[in-house]
Amino acid sequence: MMCYPQLPDKKTQKPPANTIPFLTLFFYRKKIRLSAKKSFALFFIFFSVLLFVYSLPAYAEEIISADILEIDIFLQTILEVGILVIFAYFIYFGRKWNKGEISILDNDSIKRAVAHVVGIYGFFGSVWIFLSDTILGWVVQNQTVLIQIAILKGSLFIITTATLLYFLFYRNLYRYRKSELALKDSEKRYRNMIEIAPDAIFTLNHEGIFQTINPAGCRLLGYTKKELEGSSIEITYATEEVSNMRERLKQLAQNKTLRFERQMVRKDGVHIFVDVVTSPIGESSYQAFARDITEQKTNERNIIESRENLSVTLNSIGDAVIVTDTTGIITRINNAAERLLDLSYNDTVGKPLNSIFNIINNETGMPAENPVEQVVKSGKTVDLANHTALILHNGTVRQIADSASPIHGKNNELTGVVIVCRDVTETYAKDKVIRESELRFHALFMEMNEGCALHTIIYDDKKIPVNYRILDVNPQYESIIGVNRNDVISKTATEVYKTAVAPFLSECIVACNSKKSFSFETFFLPLEKYFHISIAPLGLDSFATIFFDITDQKRNEAKIKMQDERMTENIKELQIEQEKLIRLTIDLDKFKKAVENVSEQVVICNPAGKIIYCNKATETITGHSQDEFLEKHIFTVRSSPDKNQLAQLLSHIEGSKEHWTGDARFLRKNGEIYIADISISPISDANGTVLFYVIVERDITKAREVERAKTEFVFLASHQLKAPLTIISWYLETLTSENFGELDEKHRKYFDEINTANNRMKKLVGDLLNVARIDMDTLGLHNKKTNVNEIYCSVVKEIEPLTAKKEITITAKCPAESLDFILDPDLFRIIIQNLIMNAVKYTPQKGSVVFSLTCKDDTLLVDITDTGYGIPAKDVNHIFSKFFRADNIRLIEAEGTGLGLYIAKSFIEKMKGSITFESKENVGTSFHVAIPAAQEKN
Amino acid sequence: MKINKKILIVEDDSALLDLLGEKFTSEGFDVLKAQHGAIGLEIALREHPDLILLDIVMPVMDGITLSAKIREDSWGRTVPILILTNLSDTETMSKALQNNVFDFLVKSDWKIAEVVARVRSKLSLNL
């Protein structure tokens, strides 16, 4: 037996196994729009079938043969297989449906119903079989009862099946048919509605392919029905919105209803705007209603645009725009107003104008009238007074210019007021500056000393300037030109100046074109005066002339010109002088260089003794550098080994106006003593005031040494020469003296000869010494007061033996009183000696010599005249030469050195005197000597 | 004739010295002789002669120095000094005269008798 639980056989096992697919079905029921009720019903039915099939063997054992049992088993098997197949199909179906690949608007709803039935029935059938078999098997042991129950089950099964089938299947079908018809009918109605609907109505499949389109839709899109059906909705999409299409299809697939606006592209390419409502209908279709809202859209857009434009305009207006209603409550303001009031939109809208628009009159300081009230009152546009100031909430003051206008509604009633105002603080300030500047310039114009006129150029048809018009003139112009302002304003130049051509027109044009002003001087004929005129361009067409009377100036200029010429001449002269000066300077420079570089020390000091210049030799000689000397006192800066030396030298500077020369001993910087030959010369100006002293010093130390050496030599030489001569002469003297003893004639004669020779020698030595002195210039003059008579007398006395022997008379013509003359007595003596000696020697027997001595004008005049042999003419030029003896006396007088006259002349010249002579052979000679008085000097 | 006067002769040249000595001795003077300045000074200070005849150019001590030294001496300050020299330069002359010599004779210019006469006149012996 099959249902007995204690015998587990495949039949009892099956129901549980078979319930699983149906459980699954149960859970899928929602997906296939299967209501719970229906699902259960289906399952129940199926289960009953199953039960029947399973029950069959139970009866079959009793009723039917084992073959039928096998058939039953076979059927069961087939049924189970079929169930599995159906289940599989169902799953397949379900999945496809899930994926949307199967449309639920499929006309094949019978399949669906079958699926329901099978599914539900199967499930519940299985449960029932399991339960019944199991429970019954335990509960009921009686087989007959079991059979009865089985029959009951069977009948129940059939009934249930039938009922269920009816209710679910048939009835459903019926209802389905009925609904189908109703649907068809309503469809028809709807179709009609759709056909006549003014809006486009179309259906698409889940892929977006047009399935149905109503005529309105065709009209809307411009396609025919045939063209659209089967085409994708995509063709109506503008390319940029295509992605939206897919998105929407997706959403529709999710069972969403969409409402949107989009562009649709008609067949002719025209883009229209549509308002679309679309929702899924049925299982795989979407329906859509599309209304052409192109016009609406355009209008909308226009409105938006204009609204935007308005907004933008409003906000881009620099001016603040405040809109109020008729009561003065602010309805809107623009950005500029926000900025002007320094408030935000929200702070102002809804508030009364007065609360934030606080205006006062600039000049009076009183609050200004509310513009809204004014507009409302007058109904017209109102401009606020010029000098209105706005006081912001934070106290800032802004100058504003504004106006308020009424806003009218459709019926011309006043709906509001719009106030437009502008922050003119800057402009106001600028204006103020300009006004002030203008005032200043006007003041300048009126007050200036020069005449000034403003003009504008007048052109002819060909745009050539022909004249100019006076725009304005200043008071000075009036007084200079002698006209009244009102008489010349707006008149042309030719009218005012009464000339054929406007004066200086070309200059004015040049100035205007070049944009540069220039001035010139000219003689203005109409007024017969000289003017200095400046033309200043004020633009392309206008210029100003500024002028002043320079007639006087011109006259002065002529004068100045003359002076100038004279000045030029003076300058020329100065230049010549300057050139001279330059030449002098160059010379001076040379001299300066010369002085600087001479070997003598040259020092220039001021009258006080301060050294202002010293040359290079200063350093060489004194050892002190030039710098050490400069600015110092001349005799304090150096030292002397002789105590009073410097003081004595100083005496020749301080105030002295005499030139002084002399020697001095100084100490060099290194302590060396040196001898300097100093010459101090004062340099005075024209008045005799000493300007400075020039002190020239020569280091004569060496020279002195040499001199000394020479002198020493001479002296030593003379001494050495003289010593033996002295011995000879003194011994001779002793020998020939009376006390010594008798000498016979011959002895005496011979001794005399020796004596004579000795004397000659002495004389020669003496002469040679003198000559040496003269030649070596070591003769020193020792001038002192000398009694010249005495010398003469002594000389004469000396040669007495000779004069006696030759019987020569010497006559002296001297002044009575003795003549004291300042000269060197020794030298003078020698001169006289030589001359007288010569006179006596070279005068024959019984001759005469006249010696005369006079003093005239401080000059000693000595004349020696003899009656001697005279000097031959040919020897006249030689007699003063060394060792010269004329031939004529040589023969007569063998003795004679030939040095006498040379020495005499040298001595005379040393005494600054002169010697002259006249001579006639064999008549006589006359020598004239003139010796000036010397200064007493040792 | 004997004159009680002492004469000092200072002369380096022996020939002259002897001659002068003889001359003055023959004249009756007491003659002291010195060959150069140092000896002369010594004799002078020792003997106190009445007159000194001096040469200038002498070895050891020259005449000028000698005369200066003599003059330093209290006696020597007043003793008459006669310079007998062959030097004829004025510098020497003046130097000598500084020492208060009463005369300066250039030997070669004067006779010996004149020299004696000078001496005599100085010593106020007018003979």
Is A726's CB within 8 Å of B108's CB?
Answer: yes
The proportion of chain A whose per-residue pLDDT surpasses 70, expressed as a percent, equals 80
Query: What integer is the mean pLDDT of A143-150?
Result: 61
Query: What integer is the mean pLDDT of A910-935?
Result: 90
A673 φ/ψ angles, rounded to the nearest 5 degrees: -90, 140
Domains, chain A, ordered by start = 10-181 (no CATH), 197-298 (3.30.450.20), 317-430 (3.30.450.20), 448-550 (3.30.450.20), 597-699 (3.30.450.20), 779-938 (3.30.565.10)
Does some domain include residue B38? yes
Nearest by CB to A733, from B94, B109, B112: name it: B112
Domain count, chain B: 1
Does some domain include residue B110? yes
C-alpha separations of A935 from A21, A239, A784, A913, B48 in Å: 181, 148, 8, 14, 43
Minimal Cα–Cα distance from A749 to chain B, Å? 19
* pLDDT tens digit sequence for A294-313: 888 888 888 888 888 877 88
Q: Using CA atoms, how far apart are residues A908 and A743, in angstroms rounded to an integer?
A: 44
Nearest by CB to B57, from A719, A729, A762: name it: A719
Does some domain include residue B31? yes
C-alpha separations of A552 from A525, A557, A559, A705 in Å: 16, 9, 11, 86
pLDDT band at A430 (very low <50, low <70, confident <90, very high): confident
pLDDT band at A168 (very low <50, low <70, confident <90, very high): low
Query: What integer is the mean pLDDT of A507-514?
Result: 82
* pLDDT tens digit sequence for A845-880: 899 999 988 888 888 889 999 998 999 999 899 999
Is A722's CB within 8 Å of B16's CB?
Answer: no
Q: Using CA atoms, how far apart are residues A714 and A774, in angstroms rounded to an integer?
A: 11
Chain A residue with Cα closest to B15: A727
Chain B residue with Cα closest to A735: B19
Does some domain include residue B80? yes
Query: What integer is the mean pLDDT of A398-421?
Result: 85
Quick one: which of A724, A677, A672 has its CA closest to A700?
A677
Alpha carbon A615 to its chain centroid, in Å, reads 56
Minimal Cα–Cα distance from A694 to chain B, Å? 32
Chain B residue with Cα closest to A721: B86
pLDDT score for A714? 74
CATH code (residue B38):
3.40.50.2300
Is A739's CB within 8 Å of B88's CB?
Answer: no
Minimal Cα–Cα distance from A771 to chain B, Å? 14
Q: Is the pLDDT of residue A20 over 70?
A: no
DSSP A103: -
Q: Is the pLDDT of residue A533 over 50?
A: yes
Looking from the CA of A53 toward its CB, the CA atoms found within 13 Å total 26
Nearest by CB to A725, from B19, B26, B108: name it: B108
- A–B interface: beta-carbon pairs under 8 A: 59
B101 φ/ψ angles, rounded to the nearest 5 degrees: -80, 145
Does some domain include residue B1? no
Contact between A323 and A331 (Cβ < 8 Å): yes
Q: Are strands B51-54 and B81-85 parallel, antiparallel or unpaired?
A: parallel
pLDDT score for A824? 86
Say if B105 is an interface residue toward chain A (CB within 8 Å).
no
Does some domain include residue B44? yes
pLDDT band at A925 (very low <50, low <70, confident <90, very high): very high
* pLDDT tens digit sequence for A207-262: 888 988 888 888 888 888 888 888 888 888 888 888 888 888 888 888 889 999 88
* pLDDT tens digit sequence for A566-595: 999 999 999 999 999 898 888 888 888 888
User: Residue A335 class from Cβ within 10 Å (0-12 exposed, 13-18 middle, 19+ buried)?
Assistant: middle
Average pLDDT, chain A: 80
pLDDT band at B106 (very low <50, low <70, confident <90, very high): confident
Query: What integer is the mean pLDDT of A25-39?
Result: 61
Quick one: which of A936, A918, A935 has its CA closest to A927?
A918
Query: What integer is the mean pLDDT of A66-90?
Result: 59
Q: Is the pLDDT of residue A761 over 70?
A: yes
Helices (H), B77-127: 90-98, 112-122
Query: What integer is the mean pLDDT of A557-563?
Result: 89
Q: Is the pLDDT of residue A675 over 80?
A: yes
* pLDDT tens digit sequence for B14-36: 999 999 999 999 888 999 999 88
Q: Using CA atoms, how far apart are residues A353 and A345, in angstroms rounded to an integer?
A: 13
Query: What integer is the mean pLDDT of A78-99?
Result: 60
pLDDT score for A212? 86
Q: Using CA atoms, how far apart are residues B112 and B101, in angstroms rounded to an integer?
A: 19
Instruction: Compare A325 and A152 and report the one with higher pLDDT.
Output: A325
pLDDT score for B1? 67
Contact between A372 and A417 (Cβ < 8 Å): yes
* pLDDT tens digit sequence for A440-473: 988 998 888 888 989 888 888 888 888 888 888 8
Q: Using CA atoms, how far apart are residues A655 and A688, in angstroms rounded to an integer?
A: 11
Q: Taking an 8 Å Cβ-Cβ cutoff, which residues of chain A contact chain B?
A: 711, 714-715, 718-719, 722-723, 725-727, 729-731, 733-734, 737, 739, 762, 765-766, 769, 780, 782, 826, 938
Task: Domain of residue B36: give its range.
Answer: 6-122
Nearest by CB to A729, from B23, B91, B108: name it: B108
Q: Is the pLDDT of residue A807 over 60?
A: yes
Q: Are strands B51-54 and B30-34 parallel, antiparallel or unpaired?
A: unpaired
Nearest by CB to B86, from A718, A731, A780: name it: A718
Instruction: Compare A605 and A83 and report the one with higher pLDDT.
Output: A605
pLDDT score for A632? 82
- Number of Cβ within 10 Å of residue A254's Cβ equals 9
* pLDDT tens digit sequence for A339-397: 888 888 888 888 888 888 888 887 777 888 888 888 888 888 888 666 788 888 888 88
- Rg (C-alpha) for chain B, rounded Å, is 13
Q: Is the pLDDT of residue A24 over 70?
A: no
pLDDT score for A91? 60
Does some domain include residue B127? no
Query: What integer is the mean pLDDT of A610-627?
Result: 86
Predicted structure pTM score:
0.39
- Chain A residues whose CB is inside 8 A of the B15 CB are 727, 731
The proportion of chain A whose per-residue pLDDT surpasses 90, expressed as a percent, equals 7
Contact between B57 and B15 (Cβ < 8 Å): no
Q: Is the pLDDT of residue A150 over 50?
A: yes
